[in-house]
Structure 1
Amino acid sequence: MSTLIKICGLQTEDSLDVALRHGADMVGFVFFAKSPRHVSLDCARQLGARVNGRALKVLLTVNADDALLAAAIAALDPEILQLHGQETPERIASIRARFGLPVMKALAIGSYTDLVQIPLFDAVADLLLFDAKPASSEASPGGNGVAFDWSLLRRIETRKPWLLAGGLTPSNVAGAIGKTRAHGVDVSSGVESAPGVKDVGKIAAFIEATRGSCADLQKRAS
């Protein structure tokens, strides 16, 4: 199976169109006011309609209550909910039951001690996402352009597929996939020219580099 590619934090038609044209599997839209990638409900509605089944729409929230989730879901009509805050396993189960959508849970990884939480979320989420643990000064829990020690993931075992995030760029994504054997990769700041400003050339290059890495791994395995 080829590596899943998620381009996150999309805010414009141009950046979305490039991601779709080059074959992104997932496109992410951020509903978090503190993020430079935050989109309004109207923007999400317009961009979501533009996807038109060409990729899975991912709605990203951070510790959102049910009212915000309901409004964002109504606007975007997503296929997946991405929870990027301090949501507990119990909260994830509640959200899945109420909204009837698959949930991807982001987990912050900084050291071996952070791996202990994985089984708890593996039991309730549909997908996992491993991101770098943000510095205490960071306003956003993700999209900070920081990588973590990928070797921490070498021995993990999960029942659910997982995506790698944090500091990925067109130039390092192939190496990241080779080291971790991640089921998917998620990029936001790594394809930007400034916080929240997507670079269409970098989006295309990231997808191309990821697909090239997949082809190389398949050749080695054959």
Structure 2
Amino acid sequence: MTGIKICGIDRAKVLEAAIAARASHVGLVFFPPSPRFLSSADAAALSLQAKGRVIRVGLFVDPDDAALTEGVATGLDAIQLHGEESPARVAEVKARYGLEVWKVLPVATADDIARSHAYHGAADFLLFDAKTPKGALPGGMGLRFDWSLLTAYRGPTAWGLAGGLNAGNVAQAIARTGAPLVDASSGIESAPGVKDVTKIVAFCAAAHRGA
């Protein structure tokens, strides 16, 4: 079964919809500039609701240790690093918190796939996402990259696909890439940061059909 991550969970109703639709992971955003940002109190409430039912992944962008500690305290199963974190920093975070650590790698060219090798042994999971324009948010922009670039990936680290995925293209994405996990955010929203339950259900159904 292909894993499904619904990123940017913001409300109890949305979380319940994701779980009912058989998502395997949910993402809680701890990056203040994002329209999907959660306060620690809201994240803790959602995390408690999700505990034992779905894997909880906290999304951070170049966080310092204080931000990570506060986020991890809300109750997370994994840490997703979505900034310019080096392999050494990824390994440090893993050692400090003892949680699974994901590293997001922005992709525009084959060279971006090749640089993933630097993270083998540091990250537990690699998430290939579309590279966004300079000055824009690092993800959740609805952009996608050329999926054929992933044929160059031969690394030992588990991986997933993000970037511009929605109910209309996720089955094709799985068929073309063999992605073990797909991650959606803006493609399941009615407006930036506003998750759409109907779109979440449709996305998960399409992903399960394409698996």
What is the TM-score of this pair, normalised by structure 1?
0.93
User: Could you tell me which residue of structure 2 aligns to residue 121 of structure 1?
Assistant: 119
User: Could you tell me which residue of structure 1 aligns to residue 43 of structure 2?
Assistant: 44
User: Could you tell me which residue of structure 2 aligns to residue 61 of structure 1?
Assistant: 60
User: Could you tell me which residue of structure 2 aligns to residue 190 of structure 1?
Assistant: 187
- Return 5+ residue gaps in structure 1 as ranges: 215-222
Secondary structure at the counterpart of residue 157 of structure 1: coil
1:126-145 residue CA offsets vs partner (Å, 9 max, x unmatched):
0000000001141x101010
Q: 2:171 aligns with which of 143, 161, 174?
A: 174
**C-alpha separation in 1, matches of 2:179 and 2:120:** 15
Is 1:11 the counterpart of 2:14? The answer is: no
**C-alpha separation in 2, matches of 1:204 and 1:155:** 32
Q: Partner letter of residue 150 of structure 2? A: L
Q: CA deviation at 1:120?
A: 0.6
Secondary structure at the counterpart of residue 126 of structure 2: strand
Runs of 4+ in 1 over 4 A off after TM superposition: none
**C-alpha separation in 2, matches of 1:203 and 1:122:** 32
User: Could you tell me which residue of structure 1 aligns to residue 90 of structure 2?
Assistant: 92
Aligned length: 211
Secondary structure at the counterpart of residue 39 of structure 1: coil
Q: CA deviation at 1:5?
A: 0.4
**C-alpha separation in 1, matches of 2:36 and 2:163:** 15
Check whether the contact 2:26–2:57 (CA below 8 A) recurs between aligned residues: yes
1:82-106 residue CA offsets vs partner (Å, 9 max, x unmatched):
0000000000111111111110100
**C-alpha separation in 1, matches of 2:51 and 2:127:** 25
**C-alpha separation in 2, matches of 1:122 and 1:204:** 34
**C-alpha separation in 2, matches of 1:143 and 1:122:** 25
User: Could you tell me which residue of structure 1 aligns to residue 156 of structure 2?
Assistant: 159
**C-alpha separation in 2, matches of 1:161 and 1:96:** 16
Is 1:108 the counterpart of 2:106? The answer is: yes
Q: CA deviation at 1:49?
A: 0.7
**C-alpha separation in 1, matches of 2:148 and 2:170:** 14
Is 1:213 the counterpart of 2:210? The answer is: yes
**C-alpha separation in 1, matches of 2:94 and 2:128:** 20
User: Could you tell me which residue of structure 2 aligns to residue 220 of structure 1?
Assistant: none
Is 1:202 the counterpart of 2:199? The answer is: yes
What is the TM-score of this pair, normalised by structure 2?
0.98
**C-alpha separation in 1, matches of 2:83 and 2:135:** 15
| RMSD between superposed Cα atoms in Å | 0.8
1:46-82 residue CA offsets vs partner (Å, 9 max, x unmatched):
111111311000010000000010011112x111100
Secondary structure at the counterpart of residue 35 of structure 1: coil
**C-alpha separation in 2, matches of 1:148 and 1:51:** 31
Q: Partner letter of residue 98 of structure 2? A: G
Q: CA deviation at 1:124?
A: 1.1
**C-alpha separation in 1, matches of 2:206 and 2:128:** 20
**C-alpha separation in 1, matches of 2:112 and 2:164:** 18
